[in-house]
Structure 1
Amino acid sequence: YLGRHGAEVRTGTAVERVTPRPDGGYEIATDREERRHDTVVLALDASGLRSLVARSERLGDGPWRERIGRLRTAPPFLVSRLWLDRPVAPDRPGFLGTSGFGTLDNISVLERWEDEAARWAARTGGSVVELHAYAVRPGAARDVEEELLVDQLHRVYPETRAASVVDARHVWHDDCPLFPVGGFTDRPTVRTPDPGLVVAGDLVRTDLPVALMERAATTGFLAADALLERWGVRGRTLWTVPDRGRATVLRTLAGWAGR
């Protein structure tokens, strides 16, 4: 699809710096060459964005660069997906948030809502279970943490103790943005001091009620729309749930109570 529209996808290419040009465009320097582009979308994780902006000394203005420099990454997270040889109890929900079970933050029974897992479970009589731990102690032994996560699954869903693990995948990453208490207003927005430069990703501030991959996708649309305005092209309309209460009287009372 992208190729048919003239796009070029270049994987494994490191961007060294982005430099504004006098003609309003941007010079993108990679580890292979330098090329001019009309506009730029920075869709990076916190450490990548911070590093690239630090190397691109002419991007943005002082306050914007300081804001980017304050971005931090959350502790590592672990996602464990287990294929079990027998099903979990039929009344288990497709998604369960947990608290007080060590590092375990939630359990998903994927065959409840994911087609591929549902087909596998129907064919084998088993279950596909996914476990999330969102903030593992840095430096923790990975094999130990993986075992502890499964132990917590056994506590929450005791019937899984009797199940054999047919296969398992444990994925570790440390690229989630850190959102400190009171830090909302300090996060970068889609628009920047440079009209041709926008930012997208799950670290970007938006007033729409979205988070994680939904925020990444939403800010991607918002970034594209902001750039299309430069050519007088209408972008994509984004629909969302209401971001305020429906009752005017209750909103007024809540406003007075918050003063």
Structure 2
Amino acid sequence: MRNRTICILAIVILWFSWVAFPRPPRVIKPVNPNDPTNLPDQVTKNVLVIGGGLAGLSAALELSERGFNVSIKEADTVVGGRLHTKDVKLLNQTWPIETGFHAWFNNYFQSHDILERLGVKSNFRRWEAVDYIFRDYEPESIYSKGPYPLNLFGLIHRSPNMKLTDALHSVKSLVDLAYFQYDTIFEKYANTTLEEWARDKDVPQSFYDILMKPILSVTLNRRDIFSAAEMLTYNQIYFLSDSSADHRIITTKNFQDAVIGPWTQLLLSYGVRIQLNTKVEQLVMNNDGSKFISTSSTPNEQFDHVIMAASLDSIQNILKSTEKQYHDNEQIRNKINCLLRKVGKLPMSPPYKVMRVWFDKQLQNKPEILETPHHHPINLIVQYNLLEETYAEWANRTGGSVLEFHLYTWSYGDVSDDRVWDLIRPTAEEIYPDIKDFKILAYHVHSANDFPSFEINTHQFRPTVTYPKECELPNLSFAGDWLYTDFPSALMERAVTTGRQAANHVLLSEGVRQSNIVSINLDGPGIV
């Protein structure tokens, strides 16, 4: 019966597939295509980029390439933001340790463009399928294969948990999934949780648990208050927009060697000044707010433009400090208060931890990367000895392994690093019972609370890159993954893309041609 249903569905889909295939990516072209591609040689324009994460590095690349003098001020000892790498000495060896595992998806158009320009694609390889383990379902290995929309039915057909008949019964969700409309999705669902949306659309519990919860799990946000509009956008970017949307690549080296180092070297070759350990406390302006002056080690330098590309909480602190600094200057104070009316009301997501552990033994026949969305506090387990060259060499030499545990929405309070393993060990051993016999040789814990929340009732406060212009600060712009874009974007790609958007804002104001921006289409691919 099941095979007969599949055949009938395949015939119907093939009959209509000529109108169902997704359109190519959307290219947003410059609004000033006739302007020169570079700043004239005789013109000097200085740009301050606050923050050396992906958004800041992206903006700096676009502007320095075009002849602008760019200065990056980064509060940390390294650049890269949530993609940074730091050297840590353990087991009589220096290890490059990132803030956590990341992947580059097929629809990360701006990110892939930068990787091509850096010439670093050889530092990556394909991550073929996503492996999941659940408490109430059989394990899943999810991947997309074949033309749209047959790839979706193939996924369900391969699943030991989901049924095609359930998919047919959940037609109420089809409008928001296959016929997604970005222009209206936030108006409809910005204040609706994903759980509320799923109940209203009669989404089968297995579909919600297996296809939606895992994505929700890796957003670092609380599941119970996450915006349905944001999640429906993620579904388009990471799976539904086309049959290759879930294809992704991962690095074979640490992020510094694979990406951030080459990126930094290219910026330095363009004359970018990168100042580490340099925290910008506030914006210092002239009396009418038209010029910006750094507050760091060179307090007298002036900038024609400032791009705030730090984390959301850092930007909030800078703006609050600036407002306090100018309490006697009504003109500037009003402009900063205008920014804070939006930016100041955006919350941060809960804290998270990433624990990397060196064991004396190795797992056998287990996935390189395993998502565990139903096993709080563990959301993801990565075998670094199977991914990166440094760790693979050590594992081959010693017989040991290096596992990384991602612990999102940390709910155990402020505990010392030496207590983290004791708290997560029962869950780790439930997932991988072999670990009971493993001996810990070393560990490293990264703790942070720097990820923006995309919870309900916050979308109305989420600004765009150029929102400062509405506050009469035309030479100021934002960049970061916490912003709203008028086209679908998310996570790492949103940071890179808004960096390019901020650069485009500067380019336009100085009469230099903007860069293209590529995204998936505003509308879903449909079925027929």
Q: How does 1:42-57 map to 2 (within 5 A)?
A: 42-57=308-323
Moved more, 156-165 or 134-143: 134-143
Counterpart selection for 1:160 from 435, 438, 441: 435
Contact 1:28–1:34 under 8 Å retained in 2: yes
Quote the Cα distance in structure 2 between the aligned partners of 1:31 and 1:133.
37
The equivalent residue for 1:170 is 445
Q: Cα–Cα, structure 1 residues 66 and 140, in superposed 2: closer, same or farther, change >3 Å? A: same
Give the C-alpha shift of residue 242 in structure 1: 4.2
SS in 2 for 1:136: coil
Contact 2:380–2:407 under 8 Å retained in 1: yes
**Is 1:35 equivalent to 2:35 in the alignment?**
no
The equivalent residue for 1:12 is 277
Quote the Cα distance in structure 2 between the aligned partners of 1:41 and 1:150.
43
Quote the Cα distance in structure 1 between the aligned partners of 2:289 and 2:443.
53
Q: Which amino acid aligns with 1:29?
A: T
**Is 1:230 equivalent to 2:512 in the alignment?**
no
Q: How does 1:1-259 map to 2 (within 5 A)?
A: 1=265, 2-21=267-286, 22=288, 24-30=290-296, 33-57=299-323, 58=332, 60=335, 62-90=337-365, 92-137=366-411, 139-142=413-416, 143-192=418-467, 193=469, 194-206=473-485, 207-211=487-491, 213-247=492-526
Moved more, 69-78 or 137-146: 137-146
SS in 2 for 1:9: strand
Quote the Cα distance in structure 2 between the aligned partners of 1:5 and 1:134.
38
Quote the Cα distance in structure 2 between the aligned partners of 1:145 and 1:116.
25
SS in 1 for 2:340: helix
The equivalent residue for 1:253 is none
Deviation string 1:71-117 (CA, Å, 9 cap, x unpaired) is 22222211001122222232x22322223423112112224433333
Q: Cα–Cα, structure 1 residues 153 and 71, in superposed 2: closer, same or farther, change >3 Å? A: same
Larger Cα Rg: Structure 1 or Structure 2?
A: 2
Give the unaligned 5+ runs of structure 2.
1-264, 324-331
Quote the Cα distance in structure 1 between the aligned partners of 2:495 and 2:474.
20
Deviation string 1:157-187 (CA, Å, 9 cap, x unpaired) is 1122222222211111122222222423422
Q: Which amino acid aligns with 1:128?
A: V
Q: Cα–Cα, structure 1 residues 187 and 23, in superposed 2: closer, same or farther, change >3 Å? A: closer
Q: Cα–Cα, structure 1 residues 18 and 81, in superposed 2: closer, same or farther, change >3 Å? A: same
Higher share in helix = 2
Q: Which amino acid aligns with 2:480?
A: G
Give the C-alpha shift of residue 138 in structure 1: 6.7
Give the unaligned 5+ runs of structure 1.
251-259
Quote the Cα distance in structure 2 between the aligned partners of 1:98 and 1:78.
15
RMSD between aligned residues: 2.7
Q: Which amino acid aligns with 2:341?
A: E
Quote the Cα distance in structure 2 between the aligned partners of 1:53 and 1:62.
8
Q: Cα–Cα, structure 1 residues 38 and 32, in superposed 2: closer, same or farther, change >3 Å? A: closer
SS in 2 for 1:131: strand
Give the TM-score normalised by structure 2.
0.43
Quote the Cα distance in structure 2 between the aligned partners of 1:138 and 1:86.
28
Contact 2:481–2:490 under 8 Å retained in 1: no
Deviation string 1:57-84 (CA, Å, 9 cap, x unpaired) is 3274644321111122222211001122
Quote the Cα distance in structure 2 between the aligned partners of 1:118 and 1:25.
51
Q: Which amino acid aligns with 1:188?
A: P
